[in-house]
Amino acid sequence: MKKSFSKKFEEDMILKDYSDATRTTYTYAVKQFFKTSGSKVSANDVTEEDLRDYLFYLKSERNYQTSALKIAVSGLRFFLRPL
């Protein structure tokens, strides 16, 4: 039985003993990325340029501060890390 990326993502965070707050924040960051990127439906389709464009959007359009950008990067890095 193959698990979805989101299910595996949640389980991996639990295995690493991430707090509820961290899990919630990382999940939100990943969901927002995929919601904003629109056409990307799979983690396998994400490119470095997609990530850069998204982070630029957060900084320039949404006025994210450095600390909030770091949280988004950490969540996305954990989600997209090699398996």
Q: Which pLDDT tens digit goes with each residue over 4-15?
A: 767 889 999 999
- Specify the higher pLDDT residue, 47 or 66: 66
- The single residue listed with the structure tokens 């988004």 is 72
Domain limits of the chain? Answer: 5-35+46-80
Task: Using the CB atoms, write b or e for 36-66: b if 16+ within 10 Å.
Answer: ebeeeeebeebeeebbeebbeebeeeeebee
Q: What is the mean pLDDT of the chain?
A: 88
CATH fold for domain 5-35+46-80 = DNA polymerase; domain 1 (1.10.150)
Q: Which pLDDT tens digit goes with each residue over 58-83?
A: 999 999 999 999 999 999 999 988 65
pTM above 0.75, yes or no: yes
Cβ proximity of 72 and 29 under 8 Å: yes
